[in-house]
């Protein structure tokens, strides 16, 4: 598991330390990967359309191809559901 964010590595390191994350957070400041995977673009925020990161989950297979893409996921309960669906 990895996380990808447009934030700078220093900010991600502070976040990971503060929350005790056990997986790497990768920095994508120019949003190349986020845009290519459809995880950056138009979204609704408090009723307004804005450009931003679309909370997404991707399952990448051993060959490097995306096997599952889920967009607009909610943080609450998502990991448990993903574990159930993937039987892990």
Sign of CA dihedral 36, 23, 10, 70: positive
- pLDDT confidence of residue 40: 96
Using one digit for the tens of pLDDT, what is the confidence trace for 4-63?
999 999 999 999 999 998 889 999 999 999 999 999 999 999 999 999 999 999 988 899
- Nearest Cα residue to 60 out of 13, 10, 2: 2
* 1 has a pLDDT exceeding 80: no
- pLDDT confidence of residue 81: 86
Q: Name 66's bridge partners.
A: 60
- pLDDT confidence of residue 37: 93
Report the predicted TM-score, pTM, of the whole model to 2 decimal places: 0.76
- pLDDT confidence of residue 53: 95
* Distances 64 to 7, 47, 56, 68 between C-alpha atoms, Å: 24, 36, 17, 12
H/E stretch holding 44: strand 40-45
């Amino acid at each position: 598991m990895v996380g990808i964010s447009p934030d700078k590595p220093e900010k991600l390191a502070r976040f990971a330390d503060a929350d005790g994350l056990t997986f790497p957070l990768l920095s994508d400041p120019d949003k190349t990967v986020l845009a290519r995977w459809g995880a950056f673009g138009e979204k609704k925020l408090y009723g307004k359309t804005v450009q931003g990161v679309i909370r997404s989950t991707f399952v990448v297979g051993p060959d490097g191809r995306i096997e599952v893409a889920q967009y607009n996921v909610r943080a609450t309960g998502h990991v448990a559901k993903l574990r159930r669906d993937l039987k892990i």
